[in-house]
A and B are shown apart, each in its own frame.
Chain A
Amino acid sequence: MIMQTSLLDSLANKVGASAVQQKSWELLSEIGLPQKKSESYKYTPITAILQKNINWELEHDFSVEHEFFYKEEGSHLVFSNGVFQKESSKIKSDLSIQFGEVSEGKHDPFSLLNQSLAPGELVITAGTKFPVFVYHFNSAGIANPRIKVKVEDGASIRLYEKLISSRQVNTFTNSYVEYEVGRNAFAYHTKVQNYHENVYSHETVVADVQSDSHFYNNTYSFDAALIRNNLVINLDGENCEGHMYGVFILDKNVHVDNNTSVDHLKPHSYSNELYKGILDEKSTGVFNGKIYVRQDAQKTNAFQSNNNILLSDEATIHTKPQLEIWADDVKCSHGCTSGQLDEDAIFYLRARGINEKSAKAMILNAFAVETMQHIGAKTVEEEVKSYIQQKLS
């Protein structure tokens, strides 16, 4: 308890003045940040790790470089240490955005932390025909970027997130992105996490989805000190779909925790989840996938699968599917596999003249690529592919 008090205490001077922010800080102070016994952070003792590695007061000069922008036509939005930078952004005329006061969001500890400390909230209203790229340029001990995406009835949006940080400072990014997806609407959220080794991040994506709408989330994780991804999808309508895809290819001491939850609240909805992990050296992967099917949610189809390949004896994967089903007429399946690289498959390729290195890369690449069908923007897809190639060669 002492440690927790001190962490929140050392951040108290950063809490925003508005009523919403004051109130969320009070709430957070009551529930506290996750501690050792916290079930959902069991394998990721993030509070202690942050305490040890982050200097909250540090801030380093770091300029926004447009070279990091994806070479794609669309709106390119820049955050610097959690503050939206209109001047550095390139905004298409058909995109409606507004950076203003923080509004109420979810109430888990890190969402509350973001809500308390965020310097503002960027509201994006879908309706643009171009993709939206968001770049977080971080060089401070802590940054709390906050985005709300309103996808109105019939609208659609593709949003891509990327974090670029200063090498000089250990940074903690606690981002929060919330989607309100109306009826018959589509939203695609994609992030590529190939960070410096002094980057710690807790990234929350929440989507509330109404009838006849689809929400896709793609997460590709490669490098960082520690990443925790919280993904929460509430399918609060009939005939809606939630898609969750992810790859994590880790080495060194990298720690990536994917915590996902999809809640089927109404009948006839569908969810599909596929996460693939390849772990080398002393890396750690965590996958926790929750599926809830409420009593009203008859005729739900929910599928989940997490497959992992361990390339080293010192790598670790914790994988835990969790299904809670109250309805009686549903189709749900889940499966987790963890194993080594298939030696028979490697021998088969080598016996045809392919050298060992290419054989391994071919198999691992094929394993990972399955999750990449919904990215959309070609340059992002190419980037993910090239990171996969780099990691596997």
Chain B
Amino acid sequence: MLEVKNLHASIEDKAILKGLDLNVNAGEVHAIMGPNGSGKSTLASVLAGREEYEVSDGSIVYQGEDLLELAPEERAQKGIFLAFQYPVEIPGVSTTNFLKTALNQVREARGEKPLDAVNFLKLMKEKMKLVEIDQSLLSRSLNEGFSGGEKKRNEIFQMAMLEPTLSILDETDSGLDIDALKIVADGVNKLKSEKTATIVVTHYQRLLDYIVPDYVHVLYKGRIVKSGDKSLALELEEKGYDWIKSELAEA
């Protein structure tokens, strides 16, 4: 589904990703771990199409298409979803209104008819249960004054509404208490299928107890330096990142 080859990306002339390779197939969950500043969030941002990042080399092919040629909205319309590390507060735009616009523009791009108000609300009610989010929260301004947990839950709620093919969770676990973490992970698990894939970007192993990855990759200095199965995450949790750093230094 996703093929990242030799990806080099920089922001304001500062090189962050320096030759990253990653293959993700349908049905898989990949965890990207790594110390602070290793480029985890940059990867998530580049996949979603953030324009501040410049891709100087390498390629990203998504479902056979050159992803780098697509605008952020086109990527979303083709099924890529980024759950933001820091969801943006947008005063005056209600979540409901925003999601209706988003969903209908996505549907339009996919050649589907827009949902009318009744069916939209029906869908919303159904998906709200998934992440235990309250109606009153959704009629408020998007993310404005939401707690950290509410913001992250709102991200997963949006994910449920848009039914993406490839979901990228950027540090969705950071700042969540254990109950909120379970709800968020539960939501993500319910949305998984044979046809979809998930990339979980995280600093901590904790989330991976609930969203169990098929592959764990360690990102360090802009490259994936080690890959393994879920046991690698446990090892990292136990030993930290220093052993990987010294392993690399020796090599």
Contact = CB atoms under 8 A, between A and B. Distances in A.
B84 to A, nearest CB: 7
B51, B81, B105 — most chain A CB neighbours (10 Å): B105
Nearest to B109: A353
A353 B106 contact: yes
Contacts of B141: 366
A88 B241 CA distance: 83
Interface stretch (A26-34, A278-286, A354-362): A354-362
Contact of A358 (B77, B82, B101): B101
A342 B93 CA distance: 14
B90 A354 contact: no
B3 to A, nearest CB: 21
A326 interface: no
Interface string B73-92: 10111000110100110111
A348 B48 CA distance: 10
Contacts of A347: 50-51, 72, 88
Contacts of B71: 350, 355-356
Contact of B92 (A349, A352, A370): A370
Contact of A366 (B90, B158, B162): B90
- Chain A binding surface, main DSSP class: helix
A355 B91 contact: no
Nearest to A366: B92
Nearest to A368: B92
Interface in B208-237: none
Interface string A332-371: 0000000000101101111111111011001101110110
Interface residues of B, number: 30
Contact of B48 (A351, A354, A363, A365): A351
B105 A362 contact: no
Given A348-B90, A362-B93, A354 B105 contact: yes
A354 B101 contact: yes
Interface residues of A, number: 22
Contacts of A363: 90, 93
A344 B72 contact: no
Nearest to B80: A351
Given A351-B48, A366-B92, A356 B73 contact: yes
B107 to A, nearest CB: 9
Contacts of A352: 76, 98-99, 102, 106, 158, 162
Nearest to A362: B93
B187 interface: no
B149 interface: no
B93 A355 contact: no
Given A354-B102, A355-B73, A348 B84 contact: yes
A342 B99 CA distance: 19
A345 B90 contact: yes
Interface in A66-91: none
A363 to B, nearest CB: 6
A366 B90 CA distance: 9
A358 B98 CA distance: 11
B178 to A, nearest CB: 27
Nearest to B87: A348
B49 interface: yes
A348 B49 CA distance: 11
Contacts of A356: 71, 73
12 contacts: A345-B90, A348-B90, A349-B102, A350-B49, A350-B72, A353-B106, A353-B162, A355-B73, A363-B90, A365-B92, A366-B93, A366-B141
Interface of B: 48-51, 71-73, 75-77, 81-82, 84, 87-88, 90-93, 98-99, 101-103, 105-106, 109, 141, 158, 162
Given A350-B73, A363-B90, A363-B93, 7 more contacts: A347-B51, A349-B102, A352-B98, A352-B106, A355-B71, A359-B73, A362-B101
Name the 10 nearest CB pairs between A and B, nearest first: A366-B92, A353-B76, A353-B106, A350-B72, A352-B102, A348-B88, A350-B73, A366-B93, A353-B102, A353-B77
